[in-house]
Amino acid sequence: MSENVTTPDNDRFYVVLMAGGRGERFWPLSRRRLPKHLVPIWNGRSLLQRAVERVEPLVPRERILVITTADQAPKVRTQLKDLPRSNLIVEPVGRDTCAAVTLSAAIVSARCPDATMAMLPADHIIHDTDRFRQVLRDALLLAARQPVIVTLGIPPTEPATGYGYIRVGEPWQNGTENLPGRTRFHKADAFVEKPPPERALEFLQTGRYRWNAGMFVWGVHTLLEGLREHQPRIHAAAIRWAETARARPGRLRVLLTREYPELPRISIDYALMEKARNVVVADATFDWDDVGSWTALARHLPADEHGNVWKAGCIAIDASNNFVYDDRPASRRTPVALVGVRDMVLVLARDAVLLVHKDQAQKVRDLVRTLEQHPQYQKLL
């Protein structure tokens, strides 16, 4: 386990975990009130719980915050009993990541105006936690020293078309002297949308692109200055919320109820990252997966000699590269028999069964949207 940071900046480091997504591609386990990051899919622990455990050696729990939705807040409190109650930020409504970042920054600013904070998704799988903490620590230190926005960029390992990319430029040296983790930084040249296969292969071959993992680090003042320049309306809201949280915290919920739904629905990437000129990319040289589908989860579980991954009682004949996940109570489980099938995903929940070819796993999100159109299926959402 990594040691805690022992720099003068340590008591001004904060981590905010974004835990408000729906995880639609993990249906039928992922539901509105229990989305992907809250499902105990990893040795009885949820991805959110693992995310807290991953950063806790770096930042104590009193400076770890979680931002989530009203629907999910009760489950988050249940799973994170040791998290201070005031560290759970509940959005009145979902307004995409720019609003979530802004609200989080306002609350952190009210506690510590010169804080440096990391915004991290709560639904990633990272096995090399020591290296992750080394990179994150270096990014926090750099953002504390320089007025830069740091994004953790994952060196691509395949021509993936499901991720956004960042084109990196010249190495960035300012403020990187004596960083303990020796992380390499580059100036960010451009953010690129999810590419077609041929472009993704080109990105991989050039070595100048990183996957955009949605992990950001900034000084609160630097972030607010960026919002002031590129999103003045959102910046004004952040200042009001920070002042209210500092002087009259009991009034903040009333203010948010009135103002939050009126914010533009926009991601932090579009609102700020693609416009800012002070973005620096940290080479995130640790294993990483955003676990965007059932097939992605299967990559992290042991397979038999035929490539089958079982989280169930299975009998297989001439079956290969399948993934079976049985989430039913033990008393309701029955053996699953597979004969002559390949590349299938089978998920059994208490009230629904999903069967999908691995090549079509991304379309589970479309299935959820179809269910939304039928009243008789609302209980499955």
Please answer whether residues 58 and 5 qualify as being in contact, where contact means their C-beta atoms are separated by less than 8 angstroms. Answer: yes
Q: Give the confidence band of 187 by pLDDT, cuts at 50, 70, 90.
A: very high
Structural domains in the chain, sorted by start: 10-283 (3.90.550.10), 294-380 (no CATH)
Task: Calculate mean pLDDT across residues 14-42.
Answer: 90
**Which residue, 196, 114, 207, 202, is CA-closest to 153?**
207
Cβ atoms within 10 Å, residue 257 = 11
pTM for this entry:
0.91
Residues of the chain above pLDDT 90, percent: 87
* pLDDT reported for residue 23: 82
Q: Is the peptide bond before 28 cis (omega within 30 degrees of 0)?
A: yes
Q: Which pLDDT score is estimated for 6?
A: 45
Query: What are the pLDDT digits (tens) for 153-163?
Result: 999 999 998 89
Buried-state track 14-40, b at ≥16 Cβ within 10 A, e below 16:
bbbbbbbbbbbbbbbbbbeebbbbbbe
Q: What number is the average pLDDT over the span 17-25? A: 89
Name the more confident of 355 and 296.
Answer: 355
Report the pLDDT averaged over residues 356-364. 93
pLDDT of the residue at 198: 94
**pLDDT band (50, 70, 90) for residue 9:** low
Taking only the tens place, the pLDDT of each residue in 79-115 is: 999 999 999 999 999 999 999 999 999 999 999 999 9
Q: How confident is the model at residue 3 (pLDDT cuts 50, 70, 90)?
A: very low
SS3 77: helix
How many CA atoms are closer than 13 Å to the CA of 48, on its beta-carbon side? Answer: 30
